[in-house]
Amino acid sequence: MTKSDQTDSVAEGAAAPALTGHALIQSYLKTLDASPGVYRMLDAEARVLYVGKARNLKARVSNYARPSGHSGRIARMIRETSQMMFLTTRTETEALLLEQNLIKQLKPRYNVLLRDDKSFPNILLSREHRFAQIKKHRGKRSEKGSYFGPFASAGAVNRTLNQLQRVFLLRTCTDATFESRTRPCLLYQIKRCSAPCVGYVTEADYNALIDDAENFLEGRSTAVQAHLAAEMAKASDAMEFERAAALRDRIKALTQVQSAQGINPRGVTEADVIALHLEGGHACVQVFFIRGNQSWGNRDFYPRTGAGAEEPEILEAFLAQFYDDKVPPRLILLSHAIEDEDLMLQVLAERAGRKVELAVPQRGEKAELVENALRNAKESLARKLAESASQARLLDGLAEAFDLAQPPKRIEVYDNSHIMGTNAVGGMIVAGAEGFLKSQYRKFNIKGTEITPGDDFGMMKEVLTRRFERLLKEDPDRTSEAWPDLLLIDGGAGQVSAVHEILAGLGVEDVPMIGVAKGVDRDLGKEEFHRFGERPFALPHNSPVLYFVQRLRDEAHRWAIGAHRAKRAKAVGVTPLDDIPGVGATRKRALLQHFGSAKAVARAGLPDLMAVEGISETMAQTIHDFFHDRG
């Protein structure tokens, strides 16, 4: 949908400035027609309260103009409305897509919002090499091969990969490791790999293993088992007892895999089971992934319910946002019916490139799957509410201990990590009423060339300057939830003074800040807390607030160290080949596999370079000139 396909209007002058609520909405009706589109309701400070879609804008908005008959949530929203904006679209499908994009961007208070947008991992049988590699994959499907997923978590993928190794003996090593092997690794010794790297299995036999693995992942495990049993009988008849024993072990492993997989529906080949439990304005959506008649795990979500939305609205918004960047399966089983099912089916089919079915089963195996998901949703929400109550008490205690005006909704904790100033990284973690908000974590590669190696003050200045300059640019009025209520800094009075100076220079002097220093003998439990211009103080050794702050600091330390190690590991893999124009990851890999090292590439002549697969005469000349014309 292009900009020219839409018409945006605010209907200026349609209502007197004094009008609000029903009267204001009524005044807009004469400017609207029956077109499909999206509407926004704004408060007196121009903050978006709600974004909605409509098949018929005039009919939809006229519902809000009625003075009665609304739920408490809708009535509050109408009373707060001081302005409306409208955007017409060509189709209802475009209206739904636009609505969800605006909800994600604007995060209106009265809309349902899915707050967890983390991608799901898959299993990839990579075809980049003649001996296919099986591995975990997350993100864009750009690599050649067969993808299976999604799985609910990395743990579910790892368990399945472990099972596939035991049964099908597929390699998991990288191509570079594969090419460098001269003898089989430990995985061959423990019967987890067939060792194609040293020729212990032919390419044809290895491809047969790949075919069996694909059949298993697609749900044809019975056929795989029958094939293995037939091969074992054939080997036994031929008196190849060692091969027969190996096939017997693989059948045994496959049987153990099948018995350990929990929910394995016979009548459901491919589906997502989505169940919603709503209690006291809090919602939990449980999603089970079923592929190839196997359960590939489940994940729970806690969408913001938009100040009192009901089950059909919450579930419809969840579906639209959840499948925004995911391919929907052929069947989606729901615990509750949604309002605009036909419209949602159009959107899902468009994203999948095929027909998608929505169903609310009432009996049979499918109903049992939904009932199981619903039970999990109820139990998960109960645990979440208990944890939230405990977290709320800790935040109340934190506000009391640090003399804050109110319990913080967003705490940002900062730390740096480096080794003698090299590969320096700054880390920021975020915590709030729901615990650690890992999707909000950030890492900052230290870029300042004027910073002396090991200068923690300089690093912290760069991190905080970049963080708050961006906040000020994106939200100068500080209306979003991205602004912190409390900063925790790893350090004492010096760090606190430095950070205060940085923030004051940016005009941000109203965000409370606490420095956490190790204290006497740098012992755990003897931490000192520093505030700008005040004497340091400590908390009792058995204080729950002290333990809470220690957890926050340790999490920031873990995050910063992890980012530093990742940066250091990446730097280890850097070679002069990265600087050669036209040499990307594929050509770099081919050169290293052929010559063994970047140094050997530098010494190679033109004929040797041209012998490498994917290196043309022109590219060989470019590589040769790069190493020999540098002086």
pLDDT beyond 60 at 14: no
- The C-alpha atoms of residue 284 and residue 553 are separated, in whole angstroms, by 29
pLDDT beyond 80 at 123: yes
Which range (247-261, 444-458, 529-543) has the least confidence?
247-261
Model confidence band, residue 446 (pLDDT cutoffs 50, 70, 90):
confident
Kindly state the average pLDDT of the residues 48-75. 90
Helix, strand, or coil (residue 131):
coil
pLDDT greater at residue 363 or residue 564: 363
Question: Token match 């990851």: residue?
Answer: 585
Model confidence band, residue 256 (pLDDT cutoffs 50, 70, 90):
low
Burial 392-411 (b: 16+ CB within 10 A, else e): eebbebbbebbebeebbebb
Model confidence band, residue 294 (pLDDT cutoffs 50, 70, 90):
confident
Kindly state the average pLDDT of the residues 539-561. 89
Cα distances (angstroms) measured from residue 173 to each of 122, 196, 198, 625:
17, 11, 13, 34
* Residue 559, token pair as written in the block: 């995050």
**pLDDT score of 382:** 87
Q: What's the mean per-residue pLDDT of the chain?
A: 84
Model confidence band, residue 373 (pLDDT cutoffs 50, 70, 90):
very high
**pLDDT score of 3:** 40
**pLDDT score of 372:** 92
Instruction: Report the relative pairing of strands 331-334 and 122-126 from DSSP bridges.
Output: unpaired
Kindly state the average pLDDT of the residues 303-329. 88
Cα distances (angstroms) measured from residue 20 to each of 43, 70, 361, 371:
9, 16, 44, 45
pLDDT beyond 80 at 379: yes
Query: For the segment 165-206, what is each residue's pLDDT rounded down to a tens digit?
Result: 888 889 999 888 888 888 899 999 888 899 999 999 999 989
Which candidate, 521, 437, 435, 530, places its Cα nearest to that of 489?
A: 530
Model confidence band, residue 213 (pLDDT cutoffs 50, 70, 90):
confident
- The C-alpha atoms of residue 269 and residue 48 are separated, in whole angstroms, by 43
**pLDDT score of 1:** 42
Kindly state the average pLDDT of the residues 22-36. 90
pLDDT beyond 90 at 20: no
Which range (3-17, 277-291, 490-504) has the least confidence?
3-17
**pLDDT score of 454:** 62
Kindly state the average pLDDT of the residues 614-630. 83
Highest mean pLDDT among 175-179, 354-358, 381-385, 608-612: 354-358
pLDDT beyond 70 at 221: no
Q: Please name each of the domains of the chain with its CATH number.
A: 3-110 (3.40.1440.10), 122-259 (no CATH), 271-291+298-382 (3.30.420.10), 410-570 (3.30.420.340), 576-628 (1.10.150.20)
